[in-house]
Structures are given as C-alpha cells and as structure tokens.
Amino acid sequence: MAENLVNLTIDGVPVSVPNGTLIWKAAQMAQIDIPIYCYHPKMKPLGACRICIVQVEGQPRLTTACTTPVAEGMAVHSRNAVASEARAAIMEFLLINHPLDCPICDRGGECDLQDFAVAYGRGQSRFIEDKKHAAKAVDIGREIVLDRERCILCQRCVRFGEEYAQEPGLIMIERGVKMEIGTFPDQPYDSIFSGNTVEMCPVGALTSKRYRFRARPWELTATSTICPHCPVGCNIKADVRLGREVVRFRSRENDDVDDGFLCDRGRYGYTFINSLDRLTTPLLRKDGELLPATWDEALAAAAQGLANVAHHGAGAVQTIVAPTLTNEEAYLLGKLCRTVLGSGNITAPHGNFALAADYPELNSAAFNDLDGANLIILIGANPYQHQPVFDLRVKKALRGGAKLLLLRDETSDLDEFAAGTIELDVSNLDEALQAATRHPLAANDGRIVVWYDQRILFANPSAGIAVLRNLVGQLTRVGQPPLVGPLVHFSNEVGVREMLQATRLRLGQGGSQAWATRSQAGSGTQAIYIVGTEATVPEDCQFVVVQDSFLTDTAKRANVVLPAATFAEAAGTYTSTEGRVQRLRPAIQPLPGSRSHLDIIIALAATLNERFDSASYEQVFAEIAANVPLYNGLTLGKLGTKGMRRPLPSALPASLADLPADAAETLAGVARLWTRSSPPLSRALSSSCSCSPALPT
Amino acid sequence: MPRMFDTVKGLGITLSHIFRKADTISYPEQRRPHPPRTRGRHVLHRYENELERCIGCLLCSAACPANAIFIEAAENDSTNPTSPGERYAATYEIDMLRCIFCGLCEQACPTGAVTLEGETELVSFARSSMVYTKEMLLEPRGTATRGSILAWAAPAPAGADTDLHVPDSRGQFDGAWTTAAAVGKANLPVNPSAQRPTGRTEEPQP
Amino acid sequence: MSDQAHHYAVAREIDLSRVREICDQYRNISPEEALMPVFQGIQEEYGFVNEAACYEVAHQLNLSPTQVYSSLTFYWIYKWRPGGKHRLFLCEGSGCYTTGTTRLRRVVEERLGIGAGETTFDGKITFQPFSTCMGACEWSPLVELDGEFYGFVDEARMNQLIDELNRQEYDAADQLAAPGSDAQYALVAPAPNSGDASTANVAQISERAPSLTEYEAEQTAQSGPQPNSGNADTR
C-alpha cells in the first residue's frame, strides 16, 4: 500500500494520496477547496469549465485540477497570484452571458456560481456589450424546466444521462456560441432519474417544476430522513419552508445505499404531505354518516367496537398493517393485537420473502456487494420500476466490470444491459434456476450476487425458498456461497414482517388479558383494524377502524377513522431491503388534529386499559433491540445518520420444518392475499396516497 | 443670600417660557409634515405600465430582523403578467406589529418595490388587522411613484454615465441589473437601438 | 457561378429506404464512426437531414436518437430543414469577425431580406452565418457560395456576389416569363447605390464573379504581395 502512495504538496501542504488520484480529490483530502462546475465526483472528469485551474510547478501552462492525476513530487498552487488571476478571468468569462437574475432564480442562495463569484471573482465585469439571450423557462420534461440563459454548459446533466443513468437524456445541441442544452425535438426528457440533473446543476439552469419559485434556500430547514417510496431506503434531506411546508427532497449522499442519487418517485413524492385533503379530525359513523368527533370519542368508540368482537375468538379482529409503517409502529401494533386484542390475525398485505431470521443465507447481500461482484443474477426483478436507485447501482456495477444474468418472465428495463437472459416461469422456478447454474456466465470463479424479486415466491413460498437455497448451494464457488438478497416492493416491508414475526414468536398467538380469551366461540373476521393502508372490507364485517392520513375508499367504509400523520411527521426506523436499519426523522410537526401512528396505537391501547411500558419511539426501539433477535444490540446512536445493516444470525436453521408450526402456514396465507405487485411508477406519482397498497379481494 | 436669587432665577426661566410660542399643536386637527426620510408604513410600488415592481424574490423578508414579512412567490402568467420577469409575489404580508421600521427591506429590495413612507398612524382594534396584505400595501393602479427611495438615494456624481453598468440594452428588468440603481427600468420603451449603452461600438458614433 | 457549383435539390421529404441503404454501406465500421459518412450521404442526396431521417439512422445504427441529434447539430454543415437552391455561408469565426463580417451580414440582410438561417420566400437562396472557423482565416472575411470559397470579401464584393445570383436567377426567370416583366420576377432588391460607381466597378471587374484563386491573384497584382492591403483600402 505504501509504495502506491504519491507524495505532493498543494499550496505548501504535503499530501500523500493513492496513485491515480486527481489533484482536485487530493486537495479535498488536504481540506483545500478547489472550485468545480463540470466535474462531479461520481462521474468521469471532463475539464470543460476550467474553474478548477491550478498552477503546477515545472509545467509551462496552468492545468485543470479535475483532470490531472497527481505525480510524485508535484507542487500544486491553487491560490497563488497566477492561479487566482486565471480563475478570476475564467469566472469573468462564465459570467459574461449569465443573466444575473439571482433574485428570481431558484438557486439564488445556494448557487455555486454565486459562491465562487464571490470567493474567486473580480467583483466587476468589464463586459458592457449585449448579453446573449436565449430561451428562458423551457419545458423540457415532466419534472424539469430549463433556463438556457443561466446555463454555463458544464454538461453535468448531459453526462449524468449518458454515463451514469445510461439512458437517453439531455444533450448538447449546436456548438460554439450557439451551444445549448436540449433534447431531441419534441421529445421531452422523461426519465425517472431526471430530478438528479436539477440537483447537480451548479447554477439555476435546471429547475424543478414542483419547487419552482416555492421557496428560497435560506428559509429552509433540512431534516435528515429516509425516502419512504421504495425499499432501497435512499437517504434524503427534507427541506421545510418556515417550519410548515415540505417543499423538496434532496439527496443526502450515502454511498452504501444510494450513491448520492434519487429517483423522481422519491424526490417528488412529498406533495401529498401538504395536501389540503388530509384528515385533520377523527371521524365517527353516526346514523350511517361519518361525522367529525373528538379524539377521546373516536378512541373510545374504536376501543369499544374492537373489544366487543375480540372475545368472539382469536381471529375475530383482523389487523392489516401497511408495509410503510415504521418498525416501532409495527412492533407496537403486533403487541397490541396479541396482548390486548388477543388476536393473531394480523397481516401485512403484500408479498412474500424469506425472512432473515429464518434464512440468513437468502438475506446476505448488501447493495455494496454489487460493486465488487463478477456476476449479478437478477431473478424476476425489474428494479427500474420498483427499486429505481438499485437499477442505478446495478448499472454502476456493470460499468465496473460485472456481468448481468437476467432471469425474467417479462421485459425488463435492464434487458439491453444483460450479458445473458433466461426465460423464467414463476410456477416452475426450479427449471430456470437450474438453467442459471448451468449458464456459461456462472461457470467462472468470482463473487456472485443474486437478487430475487419477492413476487417469484407468491405462487409457492416454501417450494420457492427451497429452490433458492438449492441455488445457493449450487452456485457456491471455492467455498464462497453467493450473496443473495430479496427485492421487496415497499419501504419497510422487511421491517414490518420482521416485527410481526418477532411479536408472534415471542408473545404467542393468544392474548394475556382475561377478557380477550374469554370466549372461544365464533371464527372469521368480525372487525378489522386497518393501519395506514387500503384494504377490501368484507360486506359482513361489523366494525372497521381505519387509521390513515386521507379519507380513502376504505376509510369511507369505516366506523371510526383516526387521522394519522404521514412519514414526514413520524419518527422511527425503517429496515431496507438489504436489511439496513435507518432512522426516519420528523421534518414537521403532525398536522394539527392528526397524530402519528405510534401515538394513536399507544392511545388506543390506553383506552383498552393497557399501558405500554414504552411511550416514545426511542423506548420502543430499545424494546425491539431487546426482544427481536435480529435487532439485538442496536441502538439509535449506533444507527447514526447513515444507518447500519442489522447483523444476521450466524447459525442457519436447517429447513422450513424448523419453523414454528404456524409460520409456514402464515407464509402461504399471506401469499394468498397478494395478487399484484406495487403500483407502477406513473400511478405512484399521480396518486397522492400511493404508498398505501391495495389489499385485493 | 445667593440661594434666594437662585429661586428667582428659576422662576424667571419658567416665566419666560410661559410667554414663548407653544411648540405643541392640536393633533389630530393640526399635523406637521414628516421629513422625506420618515420610515412609516410600507408602500409597494408599480411601474408606469401598472406592472408591480415586486418580483417576489424574498430578499426583504431575508433582511427583515423582525421576521415581519411573509411572501409566497409564484410564476407569472406570461400573457397577463403581474410583474416583469418570470416571478411575482402571490402573497405579500407585513405584520406591522412585528415591524420595527428599520428600513432594511427597502435597502434589500433589488427593484425598489418596497419603501417606507410617511404614514405613521397605524392603529387598529384587532391584532389580525395589523397584518397588511399586498392589496393594502400596493399603490393604486395608475400611480407609479418611487417613494422615499429618492430621498435616500445619494445623487450620482456630476457627469457620471448612469447607463454604463447596464449589461442589457432592452431596458427591461430581466434581472440583468440587480442593484438598487436598477430601479425604474421596466417602463422604458423596448427599443434596443435607442437604449444601446455607451461604450465600445462597432462603428464610431457620428 | 462556377460550373462545378453544386445546386441542391429542393426536396421536401427524405426517402427512408434510401437512408437505410446509406446506412447499409457502413455496416463494417462502428456505429459512432458510421454516423458522419451517413449524414454526409443523406445531406448530399437531399440537402438536409430531418427528424425522420435522424430516427431512422439511430434505429439502423442502434444509437439513441438524442445522441444522433446531438452529433448532427454539432456540425453546422448539416441542415435540419430543406434549404434554398443556393447556399450562402458567411464565416463569423473570430478571424473573419474582426475583419468585418458584421457589415457583410448587413448587406445580405438588406438585399435578400432574410436573416440568419433563413431562406428566401421562393426557396432560391439560404443564408447561413456560422461562428465555427473554416480554417481559412488568412483569406478573411470568408464567404462560401454553393461550395465555392470567396476570400477578402468586402461590401462591394458581397453586393457583386448577390448581383451575380440575382442575374442568374433573374435571367432564368426571364427565359420562362415574358420579356419585360423584370420587376415582377426580380429575385432580390437592386443594390442600394446601383447605377453609379459600384455597379460600374462590378462590370469592370468581371462578367462573372471570380472565384477565390482568380480574385486573390487579381488583388495581389493590384496591390503588391500583401493580400490584406488591397482589402484595407476598400474599407
């Protein structure tokens, strides 16, 4: 390692960096700021803007720090008279045609051009001729507006589409003074990653339609939280204007998860938080009509209604949990059902996968493992639609030399990147997986990473799991088993399932309260408690409690509606599809009149005369860490801002037979409830409450 | 007995003031004119073509030390604009109870849209009515005053070419000229050749 | 006009099967390499490359249409819309610009009544100033008319070139129409100072506009070995 280090000085500061590092990166390591526009750390250097110009001793001309690799003994000057003069001149050139409409520009206040003009510019332009005028506010896509006057032609957005997302995106049109950003005529830039170009634009040339003119950066307070729209768990900053309104999401770079990019579904999936249709008061059905009520009335009615049927049997009260609830909410809900309502009839209405507690070998892969992989096998997955940022990670790994083997039963957006494809029949998994093990791509040694979409297990969970485990055995190369991970469809599907599993195993099927187990008579669902999701309610169901942010079709059918806060107002933890536990922080206070799911569950339990020991999410998380084996030892402090993967159990259970008796049955039962996968992207963007999946009949 | 004389001297001063002309006036029947730089109630100005000067940039609310100004910006309807440029203030509210009348908003404004004027009698029976909305602050259509900004502005040196720093010859505020000196350009005729800035040109001026 | 000058066919549509044939000629090289020759082929044949052709090329070469479009617009020589029969290019690169292209542009705009990138109403002449250097700065300012270069062009010479075009198109129209109806068929406005010195000059210089080599030789003969000095005199 030591011989690969190169020693150089930057502004007199000695630096030792690995061979091949760019001067800009070396300066970053030495905590010396060199301005950049065209360079982006995640993409290849270009050297178009020249603002990073530095002087290297012994070289006749100034050079760009973003394209020049370091060399032994190099002496770089980034702020001596020569470099400063050149940089000021370049800044003057960049500002020649810039309209300087900072007061009306969305970027004003957080603009690199403003910042560097102050830091490195001359302060006054000598240019007194007419500026070049170009089109302003050009509508170039579903989410983006382009202002050609402000553009400094750094080509970051162009290279993002070409190099990083590897899909047709923005392009440079014309050349010379007429050069501009654009698209093919009459072809909008509709990529699900288009929002990233807005974020990486160093000036205000690309602006987001939804954020346009909504706020100035200095009014915003950022909260570090997690995107709730897919199980990748991208890290976001939620920007809140004046403490009231969520106005945008930005990427909070976490190289282990999202590599600093977001998809548009996540980036623009905040509008429903500010919706005027949000419920702000509990509703109670009186004489067939839903009427506003106080919280006390509503909670009392809900508790009474649930308690009335709870003694009809263990399955009398069905609880349906949204896969977007936090771990804490799901845990408390499981606890409420099993200890207070005395019902094990609790479902998360979505797909199926092998839980990490039972099958650690089928949950071993992390997103980072993609980067070092030789072969990536995707089974039935189309991450572009369901886990978009994972799609970017796969493409990045492919650029790094990995090969992609695609097992697919429908066209996938990764088709053109695949080195090999195998037709997949979900009802006959074994055949396709056998074909995969025999595929020439799988013949080489090297790390193999397998990600399977949860939907391949819908048809026959236990058989599917057996086939997957068989695949693990067959793909083991040189004693190294392949890393396998599930691709689920909802943000906290993994966590909710793990919490429900834990409460089932630990607290048992029956309740501890005498009144809950009093009667064994009756079976079938007589009351449903639906939390944060939509579900189809049977006609003969006597009593329905819905806890949601909107008056959904399900809520309209309910006897009691409890207005809940959204993810932006909730605190808790999410477990992503790779098993990373990350913290969700409240960006704003709950809308007046609504309460967080956690508070409602605690209050409902209190109304049912059960005081939970834990009254806050911190306490609930401590309880989870103590009671759920997978989460043993985790603390909120350890999770920090970037989260951590929950440790996998080292001892592998032998087979499905080792599971508690009801586990396999429940898996199958859950699968029956499932008929379709997560909503397609278009629906997710258009529907304000899209994160609630529908429960099919 | 010097002490006795002191008393007489004091009474003498009192007596002399009794016969002086009174400084007080019987307000509100009588009023004194305010000096031109009085910082009283705000006024939002218009251009002569009735467009609002305010572009909703929120710089005044950023400068406000009392957090008295609340603005929500929106995009102009290009066929029927409210202000020149792309952006205008859809909501503009000043809470006169919070305002400390320091005038920083006036200094921060890039277009001279908001000025503090001479009206100082701001009273109300309700707190809520002390939040002045945009409609209350805007000067009526048809008037286009500059307000106290002229009283505050330092005169340009004699012979200074005030057009020299205008990079845009269209004469319209498109953000090209964002100092306070830029105010008053949006109502000039759009005539590139007429408004060409002095300086280097293609051919020598005749 | 020289006899070799290429007059573009005024086509309005591009035959996509012909585009496919052109693409087929370059199957043996990589798509990126094939792009330029394919564009050149289409341009030679039709005088322009439009959306449909762009799509077809992208489809045939398995490239993305946006990428193809980006490359296409990078080169000013490729036209996006059908142009006129005659192509008048004016170099506005830095070298030419400093020697007075602005004045030439004004002459063209006044006499032809069209701006940059526009075509006369009858589709006869397209005027295209471009800011990318042609690499002939020593002859600046440079004008290209129908594939032929004209160097050291001043206002008088620009007028002369337009007169030449005018005469050519006018005569052609004259042959078709009844003689005497000249004003009706005149393609371009007469030179502003026609009838006096400048037209006399034109008549003196040549019956037809000299091409670059002839003109250069003439200039050298007139004003010695410095080619620029003669140009400077006229300014």
Phi first, then psi, for residue A199 (nearest 5°) are: -70, -35
pLDDT in tens, B60-72: 999 999 999 999 9
Distance (Å, whole) CA A149 – CA A22: 31
Would you state the structure tokens that stand for residue C18, as one six-digit string?
Answer: 């012909």
CA A236 to chain CA centroid, nearest Å: 8
Task: Let me know: does A132 contact A165? Beta carbons within 8 Å.
Answer: no
Instruction: Return the pLDDT at A311.
Output: 74
Question: Cα–Cα distances in Å, from A174 out to A160, A181, A507, C73, C74?
Answer: 19, 9, 68, 5, 4
Q: Is A183 on the interface with C (CB under 8 A)?
A: yes
CB contact (8 A) between residue A129 and residue B59: no
Distance (Å, whole) CA A51 – CA A55: 12
Residue in the structure block whose two tokens are 């800035």: B197
Instruction: Return the pLDDT at A350.
Output: 60
Instruction: Return the pLDDT at B158.
Output: 65
* Residues contacting A177, CB < 8 A, separation 6+: A132, C131
The DSSP secondary-structure symbol of A572 reads E
Task: Let me know: does A91 contact A82? Beta carbons within 8 Å.
Answer: no
Going from N- to C-terminal start, the domains of chain A cover: 2-95, 128-274, 283-351+491-686, 360-487
Q: Which class is domain B33-152?
A: alpha beta
DSSP string, A59-78: -SS-EETTTPBP-TT-EEES
For residue C11, pLDDT beyond 90 = no
Q: Percentage of chain B with pLDDT > 90?
A: 41
Into which CATH architecture does domain A128-274 fall? 2-Layer Sandwich (3.30)
Question: Cα–Cα distances in Å, from C170 out to A211, A503, C167, C180?
Answer: 58, 94, 5, 12
pLDDT band at B1 (very low <50, low <70, confident <90, very high): low
Distance (Å, whole) CA A217 – CA A239: 9
Q: Percentage of chain A with pLDDT > 90?
A: 60
Distance (Å, whole) CA C142 – CA A110: 45
Strands A527-531 and A317-321: parallel
Candidates B88, B91, B168, B174: best to mutate against A (most CBs of A within 10 A) is: B174
Q: Closest Cα of chain A to C223: distance in Å?
A: 36
**Section B162-188 average pLDDT:** 38
Contacts of C64 in chain A (CB under 8 A): 168
Distance (Å, whole) CA C144 – CA C128: 10
For residue C142, pLDDT beyond 70 = yes
**Section C65-72 average pLDDT:** 90
For residue C143, pLDDT beyond 80 = yes
Instruction: Return the pLDDT at A388.
Output: 95
CB contact (8 A) between residue C69 and residue A176: no
Q: Closest Cα of chain A to B169: distance in Å?
A: 6
User: Given C66, C76, C131, which is nearest A171 (Cβ)?
Assistant: C66
Going from N- to C-terminal start, the domains of chain C cover: 16-74, 86-234
Q: What is the CATH code of the structural domain delimited by C86-234?
A: 3.40.30.10
CB contact (8 A) between residue A104 and residue B175: yes
**Section B168-192 average pLDDT:** 37
Q: Is C65 on the interface with A (CB under 8 A)?
A: yes
User: Given C65, C75, C131, which is nearest A184 (Cβ)?
Assistant: C65
Into which CATH architecture does domain A360-487 fall? 3-Layer(aba) Sandwich (3.40)
CB contact (8 A) between residue B85 and residue A101: yes
Residue in the structure block whose two tokens are 């599971």: A659
CB contact (8 A) between residue C70 and residue A171: yes
Distance (Å, whole) CA A647 – CA A578: 11
Interface of C with A in 132-151 (CB under 8 A): 132
Instruction: Return the pLDDT at B172.
Output: 40
Would you state the structure tokens that stand for residue A206, as one six-digit string?
Answer: 């690309």
Phi first, then psi, for residue A248 (nearest 5°) are: -165, 160
A94-98, C9-13, C118-122: least confidently modelled range: C9-13
pLDDT band at B185 (very low <50, low <70, confident <90, very high): very low
- Closest by CA position to C57, among listed C76, C43, C74: C43
Contacts of A219 in chain B (CB under 8 A): 58, 61-62
Instruction: Return the pLDDT at B139.
Output: 94
B112-121, C137-146, C176-185: least confidently modelled range: C176-185
CB contact (8 A) between residue B57 and residue A137: no
Mean pLDDT for each consecutive 10-residue tract of chain A (697 residues)?
81 94 94 94 93 94 94 94 94 88 90 93 78 86 93 94 91 87 90 95 95 94 94 95 92 93 94 93 93 96 89 78 92 87 73 80 92 92 93 95 92 91 89 90 87 87 88 82 91 90 62 28 69 85 92 92 94 95 94 94 92 90 90 91 86 40 40 32 34 35
ipTM over 0.90: no
Distance (Å, whole) CA A25 – CA A30: 9
Interface of A with C in 185-204 (CB under 8 A): 185-187
Residue in the structure block whose two tokens are 């909070």: A252
Distance (Å, whole) CA A160 – CA A191: 11
* Residues contacting A239, CB < 8 A, separation 6+: A215, A220, A221, A222, A246, A247, A248, A249, A250
Would you state the structure tokens that stand for residue A238, as one six-digit string?
Answer: 């939620």
Instruction: Return the pLDDT at A372.
Output: 87
Contacts of C66 in chain A (CB under 8 A): 168-171, 183-184, 187
Instruction: Return the pLDDT at B190.
Output: 35
Strands A53-56 and A75-77: antiparallel
Q: Closest Cα of chain A to C130: distance in Å?
A: 9
- Closest by CA position to A233, among listed A210, A199, A259: A259
A2-95 CATH pick, 3.40.50.20, 3.40.50.150, 3.10.20.740, 1.10.287.130: 3.10.20.740
Task: Let me know: does A332 contact A572? Beta carbons within 8 Å.
Answer: no
pLDDT in tens, B9-37: 999 999 998 888 888 899 989 988 889 88
Contacts of C57 in chain A (CB under 8 A): none
Fold adopted by A283-351+491-686: Rossmann fold (3.40.50)
The B-side interface with A (CB below 8 A) comprises: 55-59, 61-62, 70, 73-75, 85-87, 110-111, 164-165, 167-169, 174-178, 192, 197, 199-200
- Closest by CA position to A153, among listed A137, A177, A132, A169: A177
Instruction: Return the pLDDT at C5.
Output: 43
CB contact (8 A) between residue B57 and residue A108: yes
The reply to whether the predicted model has a pTM over 0.95 is no
